[in-house]
């Protein structure tokens, strides 16, 4: 079970699938923007005044209000009229139940009679049901009440049951939304709360809610604790849950375990650098964001409401690369799911549900529902004409597999047999070769990879035109693959793929350099995109960063390309994707030319590629420049300009409006963005330079020259590495000496230490 809640407890919950099994309803893109939510109302039963612990939805002028979002919990706290109240929301690790741990204290000097109400609005589970065809969906849900439990049943769905209960015996309830809210009222002034009396409603059909009322009397200074529980299941489940979580000591224990869960993840990599905001980000929020992405595959947030689910091939492939140290199991699962979504031709299906290709999937449905989860004929989504194929999707998976192996040491993954989406099977290793072969075949007139439907940039639609970025990516993927081929002693493949790499490099060299920087691509009619002669779309981030990361660019060209990125794309909020923005539609280039200037793919500060520039600068050894770029995008650094940013300063956003837009600096779409994982990956592995190899831990930092030292604690394959990097001479890159437990080691790689051991590593730059 998952919940997405904001700073006023607005949001929604779902069980396993945000598309097909939503628990509570959300009105996306609504006014106000966060209704409904998971609310607690309080009412003074003497005066009739009422308010909400999370400020909204009543919006009463509270004397004090805070919301704290922690790792997998949110805590709302308010003071109003002499009552201090807190609502802490979290889901324990082991049960599909959302708990609201509510505490009230009478801070006034007289006895107080209060009513406490819960409120959630149930959803019709399937996001489409919830928004259309009400002649059907309005009649498929029913509520009932039994012994302190509101039960909700989605009649059309095989496993469509939820309950809402509490640690106390309620004094009233409503399970019908419109009875609780009342005619021409809304969540801000529900009649149930206004009148202080719930009507005991429930029915088969209609719109449902879970409102439980508890009447309490609090003496001055007296405190009370109430636990509300919203869970998945039927009455039996509800009874068990109620028994278990009415014990507040157990609730506390569950909350501690949730803390331990995150603590364990965070402890695998902790940093202490002179950059405080970098520390906060890497040690807490950046990892959290990266984990959230691999879990949700970027489909559940306020923005990505959850109506599109499954796996986006390229997004999930990249996310899998970024957190193998904190979530190896999830990364592995995603890698296998994506390999199953690969065709024999070697491309990935751009968007699919992993269940479609899961050979172990067993249907255990008690009855056949007329709708709900649509069945897909896999043949229909695999076309021979490559119309829907993106040129980059599967390439991202190759390095993710290699990173996973370096992290875990699980070389045998390469021999695991996995099915192909269109039939047949092959080892993971073979899947990798097919990915590389596909890109080698899909080249255009000049030998550069075709752009197909799109490359990483969804709005660059070159068709048979060519994408510089994809050729660089192809080169990078081949290099990654060669590392495992060499370790596996595959002599023939080593030869073959070295030749392939050389061919790609030669084509890139011959076709893509424009004198100062690399072009972005070539249209189907042979026009170059992103040249010095262009008035718009002149310099692009994707091709220039990837030319360097891949290793195709030599030092001179690499430096010139990245200088151009700095000159044309840098802003105080991060690097723009391209500049100047396109203003003239050009369908040979693609939809990007029809996006408003300064927005999204057309000249915004698109966050995801920013870390590519950090890696590129780190490869070039320019730590001052890399940190300048890092600091510009770092959300924590934008805390003091939040009125401009308009987004939380602890989450990377998909994009920030670029220079060519009137709202320059305004951030949009927090959390669900590849910039989370990439920022973490780039900062830890390339700026701080701590990255696992097959049998050693490399420490090769690229830092600002004014850093005197920094520390990293890294857990890797069961051992702990306490690393101190000293920089007495103010360098930006280059390790001059390294000791492990006082013994000198050649190079910059710490040999793998025995599991269970702790070692002290001192690196001098």
**Cβ neighbours for 249, distance < 8 A, ≥ 6 positions apart:** none
DSSP 653: E
Nearest CB to ligand GLC, comparing residues 428 and 599: 599
CA distance 240 to 235: 9
Nearest CB to ligand GLC, comparing residues 289 and 419: 289
- Shortest distance, position 660 Cβ to ligand GLC, whole Å: 18
Which window, 311-319, 398-406, 611-619, 631-639, contacts ligand GLC (CB under 6 A)? 311-319
Nearest CB to ligand GLC, comparing residues 292 and 763: 292
Q: Among 36, 310, 312, 677, which residue sits at the site for ligand GLC (rule: CB under 6 A)?
A: 312
**Site pattern 196..235 for ligand GLC (x: CB under 6 A):** ----------------------------------------
Identify whether the C-beta of residue 132 lies closer than 8 Å to the C-beta of residue 346.
Answer: no
**Site pattern 465..504 for ligand GLC (x: CB under 6 A):** ----------------------------------------
CA distance 620 to 627: 13
- Shortest distance, position 390 Cβ to ligand GLC, whole Å: 8
- Shortest distance, position 639 Cβ to ligand GLC, whole Å: 24
| Residue 186 is among the residues annotated as catalytic for this protein | no
Q: Among 408, 654, 727, 753, which residue sits at the site for ligand GLC (rule: CB under 6 A)?
A: 654
Give the CA dihedral 367, 373, 375, 381, nearest 10 degrees: -170
**Site pattern 606..645 for ligand GLC (x: CB under 6 A):** ----------------------------------------
- Shortest distance, position 761 Cβ to ligand GLC, whole Å: 36
DSSP 407: H
Nearest CB to ligand GLC, comparing residues 95 and 315: 315
Which window, 307-315, 322-330, 492-500, 616-624, contacts ligand GLC (CB under 6 A)? 307-315
636: which 2 tokens? 């924590």
* Residue 661 binds to ligand GLC (criterion: CB under 6 A): no
* Residue 545 binds to ligand GLC (criterion: CB under 6 A): no
Which window, 10-18, 172-180, 452-460, 568-576, contacts ligand GLC (CB under 6 A)? 452-460
Binding residue count for ligand GLC, defined by CB under 6 A: 8
- Shortest distance, position 318 Cβ to ligand GLC, whole Å: 9
Q: How far is CA 441 from CA 458, 547, 610, 656, in A?
A: 22, 20, 30, 37
Total residues belonging to the chain: 765
Nearest CB to ligand GLC, comparing residues 180 and 456: 456
Q: How far is CA 120 from CA 157, 181, 225, 228, 653, in A?
A: 20, 11, 20, 11, 29
* Residue 456 binds to ligand GLC (criterion: CB under 6 A): yes
Q: What is the CA radius of gyration of the chain?
A: 28
Q: Among 157, 187, 315, 536, which residue sits at the site for ligand GLC (rule: CB under 6 A)?
A: 315
Beta strands in 296-368 (DSSP E): 311-312, 351-352
* Residue 458 binds to ligand GLC (criterion: CB under 6 A): yes
Nearest CB to ligand GLC, comparing residues 177 and 608: 608
Q: Is residue 200 helix, strand or coil? A: coil
Say what angle helices 623-633 and 610-620 make with each other, to 10 degrees.
Answer: 170
Which window, 257-265, 308-316, 510-518, 638-646, contacts ligand GLC (CB under 6 A)? 308-316
Q: Among 275, 326, 457, 651, which residue sits at the site for ligand GLC (rule: CB under 6 A)?
A: 457
Identify whether the C-beta of residue 96 lies closer than 8 Å to the C-beta of residue 231.
Answer: yes
DSSP run (H or E) holding 615: helix 610-620
Identify whether the C-beta of residue 672 lies closer than 8 Å to the C-beta of residue 296.
Answer: yes
* Residue 651 binds to ligand GLC (criterion: CB under 6 A): no
* 525 phi, psi to nearest 5 deg: -90, 5
* Residue 601 binds to ligand GLC (criterion: CB under 6 A): yes
Q: How would you class 135 by CB atoms within 10 Å of its CB: exposed for 0-12, middle for 13-18, buried for 19 or more?
A: exposed
Nearest CB to ligand GLC, comparing residues 141 and 316: 316
Nearest CB to ligand GLC, comparing residues 192 and 312: 312
Burial per residue of 628-639, b for 16 or more beta-carbon CB atoms within 10 angstroms, e otherwise: bbbbbbbbbbbe
**Cβ neighbours for 667, distance < 8 A, ≥ 6 positions apart:** 573, 635, 638, 645, 646, 647, 653, 655, 656, 657
- Shortest distance, position 313 Cβ to ligand GLC, whole Å: 9
Nearest CB to ligand GLC, comparing residues 53 and 541: 541
One DSSP character per residue, 691-728 reads: EE-SSEEEE--B--TT--EEEEEEEETTEEEEEEEE-T
- Shortest distance, position 331 Cβ to ligand GLC, whole Å: 18
Residue nearest to ligand GLC (CB): 458
Identify whether the C-beta of residue 676 lies closer than 8 Å to the C-beta of residue 293.
Answer: yes
* Residue 73 binds to ligand GLC (criterion: CB under 6 A): no
CA distance 736 to 722: 18
Strands 605-606 and 719-726: unpaired
Q: Could you say which of 130, 422, 458, 566 is catalytic?
A: 458
- Shortest distance, position 293 Cβ to ligand GLC, whole Å: 10
Q: Active-site residues: which are they? A: 458
Which residues contribute to the site for ligand GLC (CB under 6 A)?
312, 314-315, 456-458, 601, 654
């Amino acid at each position: 079970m998952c919940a997405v809640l904001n700073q006023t407890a607005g949001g929604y919950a779902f069980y396993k699938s945000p598309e097909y099994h939503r628990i509570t309803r959300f009105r996306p893109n609504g006014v106000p923007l966060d209704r409904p939510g998971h609310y607690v109302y309080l009412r003074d039963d003497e005066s009739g005044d009422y308010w909400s612990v999370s400020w909204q939805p009543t919006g009463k002028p509270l004397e004090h209000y805070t919301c704290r979002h922690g790792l997998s919990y949110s805590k709302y706290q308010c003071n109003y009229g002499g009552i201090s109240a807190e609502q802490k929301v979290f889901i324990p690790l082991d049960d599909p139940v959302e708990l609201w741990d509510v505490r009230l204290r009478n801070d006034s000097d007289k006895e107080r009679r209060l009513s406490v109400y819960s409120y959630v609005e149930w959803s019709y589970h399937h996001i489409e049901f919830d928004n259309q065809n009400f002649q059907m969906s309005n009649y498929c849900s029913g509520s009932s009440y039994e012994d302190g439990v509101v039960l909700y049943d989605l009649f059309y769905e095989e496993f469509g049951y939820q309950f809402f209960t509490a640690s106390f015996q309620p004094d009233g309830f409503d399970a019908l939304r419109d009875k609780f809210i009342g005619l021409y009222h809304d969540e801000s002034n529900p009649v149930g709360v206004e009148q202080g009396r719930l009507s005991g409603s429930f029915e088969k059909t209609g719109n449902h809610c879970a409102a439980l009322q508890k009447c309490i009397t609090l003496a001055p200074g007296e405190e009370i604790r109430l636990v509300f529980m919203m869970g998945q299941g039927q009455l039996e489940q509800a009874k068990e849950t109620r028994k278990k979580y009415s014990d507040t000591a157990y609730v506390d224990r569950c909350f501690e375990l949730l803390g331990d869960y995150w603590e364990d993840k965070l402890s695998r990599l902790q940093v202490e650098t002179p950059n405080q905001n970098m520390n906060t980000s890497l040690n807490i929020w950046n990892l959290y964001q990266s984990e959230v992405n691999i879990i949700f595959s970027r489909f559940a947030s306020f923005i990505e409401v959850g109506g599109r689910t499954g796996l986006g091939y390229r997004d999930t492939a990249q996310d899998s690369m970024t957190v193998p140290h904190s979530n190896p199991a999830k990364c592995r699962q995603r890698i296998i799911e994506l390999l199953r979504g690969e065709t024999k031709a070697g491309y990935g299906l751009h968007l699919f549900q992993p269940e479609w290709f899961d050979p172990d999937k067993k249907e255990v449905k008690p009855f056949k529902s007329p709708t709900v989860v649509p069945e897909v004929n896999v043949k229909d989504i695999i076309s021979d004409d490559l119309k829907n194929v993106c040129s980059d999707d599967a390439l991202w998976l190759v390095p993710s597999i290699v990173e996973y192996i370096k992290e875990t040491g699980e070389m045998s993954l390469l021999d695991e047999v996995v099915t192909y989406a269109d039939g047949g099977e092959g080892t993971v290793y073979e899947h990798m070769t097919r990915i590389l072969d596909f890109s080698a075949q899909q080249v255009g007139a000049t030998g550069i990879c075709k752009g197909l439907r799109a490359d990483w940039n969804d709005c660059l639609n070159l068709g048979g035109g060519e994408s510089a970025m994809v050729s660089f990516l192809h080169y990078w993927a081949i290099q990654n693959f060669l590392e495992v081929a060499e370790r596996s002693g595959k002599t023939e493949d080593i030869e073959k793929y070295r030749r392939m790499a050389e061919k790609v490099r030669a084509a890139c060299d011959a076709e893509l350099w424009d004198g100062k920087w690399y072009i972005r691509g070539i249209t189907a009619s042979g026009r170059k995109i992103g040249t010095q002669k262009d008035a718009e779309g002149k310099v692009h981030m994707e091709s220039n960063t990837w030319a360097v990361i891949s290793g195709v660019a030599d030092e001179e060209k690499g430096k010139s390309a990245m200088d151009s990125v700095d000159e044309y794309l840098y802003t105080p909020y991060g690097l723009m994707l391209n500049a100047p923005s396109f203003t003239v539609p050009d369908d040979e280039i693609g939809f990007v030319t029809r996006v408003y200037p300064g927005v999204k793919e057309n000249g915004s500060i698109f966050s995801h590629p920013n870390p590519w520039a950090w890696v590129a600068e780190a490869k070039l050894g320019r730590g001052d420049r890399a940190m300048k770029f890092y600091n510009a995008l770092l959300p924590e650094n934008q805390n003091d300009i939040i009125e401009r940013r308009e987004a939380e300063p602890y989450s990377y956003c998909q994009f920030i409006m670029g220079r060519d837009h009137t709202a320059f600096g305004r951030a949009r779409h927090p959390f669900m963005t590849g910039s989370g994982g990439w920022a973490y990956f780039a900062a830890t592995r390339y700026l701080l330079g701590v990255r696992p190899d097959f049998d050693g831990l490399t420490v090769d930092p690229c830092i600002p020259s004014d850093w005197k030292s920094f520390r990293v604690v890294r857990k890797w394959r069961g051992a702990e590495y306490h690393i101190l990097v000293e920089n007495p001479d103010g360098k930006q890159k280059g390790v001059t000496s390294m000791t492990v437990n006082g013994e000198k080691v050649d190079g910059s790689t710490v040999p793998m230490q025995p599991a269970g051991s702790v070692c002290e590593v001192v690196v001098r730059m």
